[in-house]
Amino acid sequence: MKKRLKSWMNRFRNIRPGPLLSQLIITMIYPVAKAAASESKRLLIFTDSLTIIAAALLIAGIVYSLVLHGDYDIAAFILRRSQKNEKQSFDAYLEDRKREREDAFNYPLFLAMLYFIIALILAYTVL
């Protein structure tokens, strides 16, 4: 149990404030603009827009999670090898990709969960 908790905490250690803040600002533009443009029920419209953005981020986060786990490594290796005519072995390519992914964090999935929680809390306050 301790090992699993430590693994989760290590994942959050990779969060960097710069990328998180920029993605937070970019993804909040649509819900805030929709709520500001509406004439009535602004909180409801903000919650609905936030849910739409969260669903899109969830899909992107799932795909990015597959990339981070290496599910597309063979396809990327074949594509890179055919385009650049490199003679790098697949094992060496996997090691390079593993080192690149060590510090990666799945911001879309994190923001999707955060937005779903916020939308759920706001939906209960609207009722």
Tell me: the pLDDT tens digits for 72-99?
888 888 888 888 777 778 888 888 888 8
The percentage of residues in the chain with a pLDDT greater than 90, rounded to a whole number, is: 46
Looking at residue 81, its pLDDT comes to 81
Residues 6+ apart with CB under 8 A from 44: 126
Q: Is-contact 63 108, C-beta < 8 A?
A: no
Average pLDDT of the segment spanning 85-114: 86
User: 15-24, 52-61, 110-119: which range is least confident on average?
Assistant: 15-24
Which two tokens mark 12? 């959050």
**Residue 15 near residue 33 (C-beta atoms within 8 A):** no
Q: What percent of the chain has pLDDT over 70?
A: 91
- Tell the residue number behind the tokens 């094992």, with chain if given: 91
φ, ψ dihedrals at 40, nearest 5°: -145, 160
This model's pTM is above 0.85: no
Does residue 27 contact residue 49 with C-beta atoms inside 8 Å?
A: no
